[in-house]
Structure formats: C-alpha cells, structure tokens
Amino acid sequence: MAFLSIILSLIAIAMAYVALQRTGGLKDLKRQMDHLTSKTEDVAKGARETTADILRRLEHMVRGAEAQSSEKDENVPPLRDTGSEK
C-alpha cells in the first residue's frame, strides 16, 4: 500500500511539473511578477500625486480663507481669554 502511494505521489509531481511548463514555467512567473510590480507602483504613484494635489487645493482654500478673514478683521483686536468657559 505504501508503494502505491509513493507511485501516485511521483505521478502527481510529474503532472504538476508538466502543467507548470505548459503555463510558461518560472520565467513567465517572474515576468508576470515584474509586470504586476510595475503596475502597482504606477497606481501608487498616481494615487500619491492625486492626494498631493487634493491636499494642495485644501491648503490653498484654508490659507486663502485665513488671509481673507485676517484682512477683514485687521481693525478688530484679538479676543482675550477670560478664563470662564460657557
């Protein structure tokens, strides 16, 4: 019985090897990995640039609002902290 399981295991290994060779082998796997890696890097770079652009716009909106409010309130003295909380 053990001899039969060894024979079946060897046949399964041989079939797996043949299937790997038919699909392109290890060279094809490495090529696919390189392709996916570069594609992932491109997507990450695009996301990084988009995020940076959004943050730049947000900063411009916030700083623009601060600049406008400070120009309007130049004659108003700053608020004093009275220590009382409402």
| Residue numbers in the chain where pLDDT is lower than 70 | 65-86
What pLDDT, on the 0 to 100 scale, is given for residue 28? 80
pLDDT at 73: 52
CA distances to 57, 58, 76 from 63, in Å: 10, 8, 20
Output the pLDDT for position 29: 80
Residue 30 is predicted with a pLDDT of 85
pTM of model > 0.85: no
SS3 annotation, 4-38: HHHHHHHHHHHHHHHHHHHCCHHHHHHHHHHHHHH
Q: Look at residue 26 in the predicted model and tell me its pLDDT.
A: 78
Tokens of 39: 């594609």
